[in-house]
Amino acid sequence: MDLSANEANQQENANAMVKVRTIKDIAELAGVSTGTVSRALAGSELISKKTRAKIQALADEHGFRPNVLARNLRIQKTGAIGVLIPLGHEKGQHISDPFFITMLGLLADRLTEKGYDLLLSRVIPTDGSWLERFVDSGRVDGLIVIGQSDQVETLDKVAARYRPLVVWGGYTEGQVHCSVGSDNRKGGYIAAKHLIERGCNRLAFFGDPKALEIGQRLEGCRQAMAEAGLSEKLSVLPAHLVAEAAHPDIANYLGSVGERPQGIVAASDVIAMSALRALAEFGLAVPGDVHVIGYDGLAIGEQTVPRLSTVSQDLTQGAHHLVDMLLRRIAGEDTQSVVMEPELIVRMSS
């Protein structure tokens, strides 16, 4: 290796050594201006093919990635969608809850498909500002809120001025914010009717009607019972939503109730699973002694023994709706709330 080769080599090493972090570094290396680099990297036709190629080569030789923050600040977009879970109505409810988690996964899948990232934040609404704070932080291009909890007012207030916001949950007449959810009343009706058709005369509803959606499901149940002339035969147990908390509720109930219900309408699949387990512990056969039906259509319902009958909300489609509508709202379009058809899925527990 002669001297000049050595020098050339050192030069090359020196080049490789330069830590290329910014567009400016690339610009210096290529002997052009930062503007040119920016355009070249964006594949702009304004830049000649030759320099474009050269700059791009340089860029991936050094593994250069433009700083997303700076870019976002300039173009006023973030490429991220915020997903908020207001944990208002039930203490101790974690993000780890199967329903949230399922919805979250589906949203993540869909958003990723559409080229967005997902910024997750659990919020415990202490005052009304939790939403506003997020909205105004400029960190996301849009917001999906999972569940209305007891925050309908806050949601309506913010929705009035901040357009890229969609909510998973129930729909009520006159609601300002754009929501996606299933027809809970109808779902409850279907569930109860199914059990009645299976020969159940006494039903129990497991779930706390204080939450909007659950209340609506209960209404549906009531209607079905009324139509069958069984209005008096429906009892309600305001069981917790969280699996660990639901189980004792249910076990207590089953242990102390006078006339055992012939059918159980659970307000969620998680509650239904707790019910299945409690029934098994009491030595009651499902569906022999008691018929059970859940609500949500979660995948785990396939894995229970017996496999869980349920009213399915088609969360996959729901997630698609949420994302697609949000993107349309971001684009400036207007959108209507979506109320999806619930679907009865009869498996083995009813």
Q: Tokens for 324?
A: 């697609």
Residues 258-287 that bind a copy of itself (CB under 8 A): 270, 273-274, 276-277, 280
Nearer to a copy of itself (CB atom), residue 9 or residue 129:
129
Q: Identify which range of 32-40, 93-101, 117-125, 177-185 contacts DNA by CB under 7 A.
A: 32-40
Scanning residues 157 to 196, which ones bind a copy of itself (CB under 8 A)?
Answer: none
Residues 52-111 binding DNA (CB under 7 A) are 52, 66-67, 69-71, 73-76
Token pair listed for 341: 């058809």
Q: What separation in angstroms does the CA of 295 have from each of 2, 73, 107, 348?
A: 79, 43, 20, 14
Q: Which does 75 bind (CB under 5 to 8 A by kind): DNA, a copy of itself, none?
A: DNA
Provide Rg for the chain, Cα atoms. Answer: 28
Q: Does 161 bind DNA (CB under 7 A)?
A: no
CB of 107 to a copy of itself, least distance (A): 9
Q: Per CB under 8 A, does 312 bind a copy of itself?
A: no
**330 forms bridges with which residues in the sheet?**
none
CA angle in degrees (0–180, nearest 5) for 100-245-87: 40
Residue 117 binds which of a copy of itself, DNA, none (CB < 5-8 A, kind-dependent): a copy of itself
108 binds a copy of itself (CB under 8 A): yes
**C-alpha angle 127-131-136 in degrees, rounded to nearest 5:** 120
User: Which alpha helices (DSSP H) does the chain contain, by range?
Assistant: 3-17, 23-30, 34-41, 49-61, 68-75, 98-113, 129-136, 152-159, 184-197, 212-227, 243-256, 269-281, 315-330
Dihedral pair phi/psi, residue 171, rounded to 5°: -115, 130
The CA-atom distances, in angstroms, between 2 and each of 15, 179, 197 are 20, 73, 94
* Interface with DNA (CB under 7 A), residue from 21, 91, 133, 210: 21
Q: Which does 42 bind (CB under 5 to 8 A by kind): DNA, a copy of itself, none?
A: DNA
With H, G, I as helix, E, B as strand and everything else as coil, classify residue 179.
strand
Which chain residues interact with a copy of itself by CB under 8 A?
A: 63-70, 72-73, 78, 80, 94-98, 100-102, 104-106, 108-109, 112, 117-122, 129, 132-133, 136-139, 243-244, 270, 273-274, 276-277, 280, 299-300, 302-307
Which chain residues interact with DNA by CB under 7 A?
A: 21-24, 31-36, 38-39, 41-42, 45-52, 66-67, 69-71, 73-76
